[in-house]
Amino acid sequence: MTPPPVPRGAPVSPPPPTHRPAASPLTAAAASRAAPRPKEDFKAGDHVVYPTHGVGTVQGIETVEAAGYSLQVIVVTFEENRMTLRVPVNKAASSGLRKLAAGANMQQALDTLKGRARIKRTMWSRRAQEYEAKINSGDPIQIAEVVRDLHRNAGQPDQSFSERQIYEQALDRLAAEVAAIDKSDKPAAIEKLLTYLGKAEKGEKADKAAKAEA
């Protein structure tokens, strides 16, 4: 039946609003399947670094199904922590997952160890937060800065428990990546790092001697 014509000049009611349900996370994930692949291609056997967990090994790329949607994930295992991480392929770059540092980048981190410690005159709790943030950044240069700044007090009686923990965490994280790059083990990598730190100590002693003679 045809509706009666609306009289001229009469107000016209707007059409009822169309309800559009919000996209669910699964829908968003499915929609992002067409997103470009990460800048780095990961394959089984690759050593990689995840910011908050350190060095891991790629086991492969799997397709997981959820609510009728498919999503490709990179499967990474961390032997020391006995954990497995699944990172969506299209989120690899934004999550910070990366391959081992290039030679020049790691060399810059090692050279950082030879520099002078830079200790801010702030409360330890504030500095501890900054150190933790640097360690979890996944950047070997920032991690090297933590090792450099806390190495001076390493093993000293006045070193606090939390300071020692942060120092050892940073040293372990950096050594793990050095070992993976050099294809050695972690003890050998730690010795390498300590050699660079020893050069820094020699430099500081030489500076003090020069000032004393002046």
Which residue, of 99, 122, 140, is where some domain finishes? Answer: 99
Shared domain check, 146 and 72:
no
What's the CA gap between 54 and 67, in Å, rounded? 32
pLDDT for the residue numbered 112: 97
**Residue 42: which of 91, 4, 107 has the closest Cα?**
91
Shared domain check, 142 and 201:
yes
* Domain around 66: 37-99
Q: Is residue 155 domain-resident?
A: yes
pLDDT for the residue numbered 157: 77
Per-residue exposure over 178-201, b if at least 16 CB sit within 10 Å of its own CB, e if not: bbbbeeeebeebbebbbebbeebe
The CATH number of whichever domain residue 58 belongs to comes to: 2.40.10.170
Q: Is residue 191 domain-resident?
A: yes
Shared domain check, 57 and 150:
no
Shared domain check, 52 and 123:
no
CA-based torsion, 62, 63, 66, 70: positive or negative: positive
pLDDT for the residue numbered 109: 98
Shared domain check, 107 and 53:
no
pLDDT for the residue numbered 68: 86
Shared domain check, 203 and 123:
yes
Which residue, of 99, 126, 151, is where some domain finishes? Answer: 99
Six-digit token pair at 28?
A: 């968003």
Q: Is residue 176 domain-resident?
A: yes
pLDDT for the residue numbered 7: 57
Q: Is residue 171 domain-resident?
A: yes
CA-based torsion, 169, 174, 180, 186: positive or negative: negative
Residues of the chain under the 70 pLDDT cut? 1-39, 200-214
The CATH number of whichever domain residue 191 belongs to comes to: 1.20.58.1290
pLDDT for the residue numbered 158: 78
Shared domain check, 108 and 173:
yes
Shared domain check, 208 and 112:
yes
Strands (E), the chain: 47-50, 54-66, 69-78, 83-88, 98-99
Are the beta carbons of 61 and 46 closer than 8 angstroms? no
Which residue, of 99, 129, 149, is where some domain finishes? Answer: 99
Q: Is residue 10 domain-resident?
A: no
Q: Is residue 54 domain-resident?
A: yes
Shared domain check, 141 and 54:
no
Shared domain check, 187 and 141:
yes
* Structural domains in the chain (count): 2
Shared domain check, 147 and 77:
no
Shared domain check, 180 and 119:
yes
Q: Is residue 142 domain-resident?
A: yes
Q: Is residue 31 domain-resident?
A: no
